Amino acid sequence: MGRRALSVLLAAALLAPAARGAEPVRWSVADEARMVAEAASWAPPDLKRQLAKHSRRLMQGVADAAAAEGLAPGASAHRDAAAKTARALAAAIRRHESFDSAAYQAGALFHSAAMAYAPDAPGIPGPSAFLGFPADPFAAPETLASAKLPAATGAERRAAAITLTARLLAWTWKAAGGDASIVNQYPDSKGPYQP
């Protein structure tokens, strides 16, 4: 094969993903598993205990949501999905559905939050800072999800995903009737907080 033919084939191979629309960069399931554990560590204590007790279902929820990812790339669709999942999760907890199921839904919530702040490149190390709870930590989940968080770097995107999840978990627990007073200990005005 001549140089010219090889260069044409190489150019075609390099341009093919762009022509099809390259797949967006995603967090690996292993990254998401580590990140959801970090986010859960900032959840209200009673919720944190339940998520730890049902950690297998939490991680299964993350993995299944990642495998079934069907939303178009874009942060707003994933933020909307995270807020919607937070509302559904709070309702399920209020109805006293099994916590096994609730943990699974929390995994899906995390995946949506993580994809709202998808990485700009694979392999961003952690652990990450938690940015804290906002001045109105129990505003509507749509308001919490639409808040602008720093996301210029990979580390900031990871911290934003963890922060959004922790904020939505606190909202969920409070909306379900739980004690979410932990939000007073970690205001965003004094953050970021290290794990």
Q: What is the tens place of the pLDDT at every residue in 36-60?
A: 889 999 999 999 999 999 999 999 9
Q: Is pLDDT of 152 > 80?
A: yes
CB 125 within 8 A of CB 163: no
Q: Is the peptide bond before 44 cis (omega within 30 degrees of 0)?
A: no
CA quadruple 14, 15, 16, 20: dihedral sign: positive
Q: pLDDT at position 61, please?
A: 93
Better-predicted residue by pLDDT, 135 or 21: 135
Q: Is pLDDT of 21 > 50?
A: no
Cβ-Cβ contacts under 8 Å for 174 (sequence gap 6 or more): 44, 137, 138, 180
pLDDT-based confidence at residue 126 (cuts at 50, 70, 90): low
Instruction: Kindly state the average pLDDT of the residues 87-112.
Output: 94
Q: pLDDT at position 179, please?
A: 97
Q: How high is the mean pLDDT of the chain?
A: 84
The 10s digit of each residue's pLDDT in 65-75 is: 888 877 655 67
Of 56-70, 101-115, 142-156, 164-178, which has the strongest mean pLDDT?
164-178
pLDDT-based confidence at residue 124 (cuts at 50, 70, 90): low
Q: Is the peptide bond before 127 cis (omega within 30 degrees of 0)?
A: yes
Q: pLDDT at position 19, please?
A: 39
pTM metric for this prediction:
0.84
**How do the domains of the chain map onto residue ranges?**
25-190
Beta-bridge partners for 145: none
CB 144 within 8 A of CB 112: no
Instruction: Kindly state the average pLDDT of the residues 151-162.
Output: 90
Please give the share of the chain, as a percent, with pLDDT higher than 90. 59
Beta-bridge partners for 193: 130
CB 107 within 8 A of CB 61: yes
Alpha helices per DSSP H over the chain = 3-20, 29-40, 45-53, 55-67, 75-94, 99-116, 141-146, 154-175
Q: pLDDT at position 23, please?
A: 59
